[in-house]
Amino acid sequence: MALRAALRNKSGLSSLLSQRSSCHSHGRVCLSPVLVAQRRNNSTSPKIKVDFDQSTGVAVMQMQSPPVNSLSLDFLTEFCIGVEKLEMDKSCRGLIITSNQPKVFSAGLDIMEMYGKSPERCGEFWRAVQEMWLKLYSSNLVTIAAINGSSPAGGCLMSITCDYRIMADNPRYSIGLNETQLGIVAPFWFKDTMTNTVGHRTTEIALELGLLYNPSEALKIGLVDQLVPEDQVLTTATQTMAKWLAIPDHARQITKSMMRKPTIDKLTSNREADIQNFVSFITKDSIQKSLRMYLEMLKKRKG
Ligand code: CO8
């Protein structure tokens, strides 16, 4: 698949999309007919729905991959392409990420992508996870996570790459990096993103114990910025976005980059080694066994 091939390629999606979708003339980006059509309309792909309001410059991206928006390779590929398209559209300034699945923002990485797969496939998957993080953490857009359900592990990672987090005030929902509970280890860039959000000591405790926080606890430690009633998550995100967009883009973008660049550089300069680490770790028999037990536990809990 061409899109997956783009993720496999070190230059990532940027080159593919720039070849496919834009040309440069007199210093201005001109979009291909496909993108021009999408500027006016909402674009829908199977796992992601994007509503872009050109009058406000704000796009709402709804994750719609039942049952729990788990981050599979296909999901991540679509997601990255969606973000990249918005990033390339000069009229887009803000992105709100939310879920249209009941009770769940995202269940994190699709465990089935890490269980019983070949090393090659695991490597391809991990590159896509890295790509998602790089796209979001380095995005020039204002990014707001409208967390309208549980958000464990990779779902939490996705949330903490955003500039601001608004969560539904429902004690049944939880958020956190719970990797150790699965017998796996949050990679250094998950850890760094969490540390940048809530500080070193809180991250140390959270990661060692694989803690999942309810919304009040998450607010208390600064893992989310605001709690609102469930039916107000999206409207609050839209109102908050307007405040962020009142700041001149260039000043905000340079500030964001100043804050995040060292963390981003750490992964970009170690990307291949990080993929190798992931593949050799996840394909170990003992880790596969832990994942199997966790999957069984998920099924039993359901029953
Ligand atoms: N991947 C794949 N399938 C999943 C996942 C997942 N992450 N989460 C849930 N499912 C499946 C369930 O098994 C179930 O399948 P089925 O219908 O076939 O039985 C279905 O989705 C629905 O799940 P639930 O019935 O549990 O749905 P609920 O609405 O009751 O609960 C939750 C939703 C809270 C999201 C719950 O499903 C849950 O806790 N899921 C597990 C979340 C989790 O622990 N994710 C961790 C993924 S690992 C990760 O993101 C980072 C890994 C970093 C790797 C580092 C290695 C070096």
The model's pLDDT over 230-253, given as tens digits with 9 standing for 90+, comes to 999 999 999 999 999 999 999 999
Q: Whose CA is nearest to atom 41 of ligand 1?
A: 107
- CA–CA separation, 7 vs 124, rounded Å? 8
Query: What is the length of the chain?
Result: 303
Q: Which helix (H) or strand (E) holds 142?
A: strand 142-147
* Residues in CB range of 263: below 8 A, 6 or more apart: 137, 189, 192, 193, 196
**Percentage of the chain with pLDDT > 90?**
83
End-to-end CA distance of the chain: 37
Q: Clarify whether 179 is annotated catalytic.
A: yes
Q: Which of 278, 299, 282, 292 is nearest to 114 (CA)?
A: 282
Q: Determine which one of 178, 211, 223, 267 is catalytic.
A: 178
Query: Each residue of 127-179: pLDDT tens digit?
Result: 999 999 999 999 999 999 999 999 999 999 999 999 999 999 999 999 999 99
Instruction: Please check whether residue 131 is in contact with residue 78, taking contact to mean a CB–CB distance below 8 angstroms.
Output: no
Mean pLDDT (whole number) for 12-26: 38
Q: Clarify whether 207 is annotated catalytic.
A: no
The model carries a pTM of 0.89
Residue 35 scores a pLDDT above 50: no
Instruction: Please check whether residue 147 is in contact with residue 105, taking contact to mean a CB–CB distance below 8 angstroms.
Output: yes
Instruction: Please check whether residue 257 is in contact with residue 249, taking contact to mean a CB–CB distance below 8 angstroms.
Output: no
Q: How confident is the model at residue 301 (pLDDT cuts 50, 70, 90)?
A: confident
Instruction: Please check whether residue 124 is in contact with residue 73, taking contact to mean a CB–CB distance below 8 angstroms.
Output: yes
Indicate whether residue 292 lines ligand 1 (CB < 6 A).
no
Indicate whether residue 281 lines ligand 1 (CB < 6 A).
yes
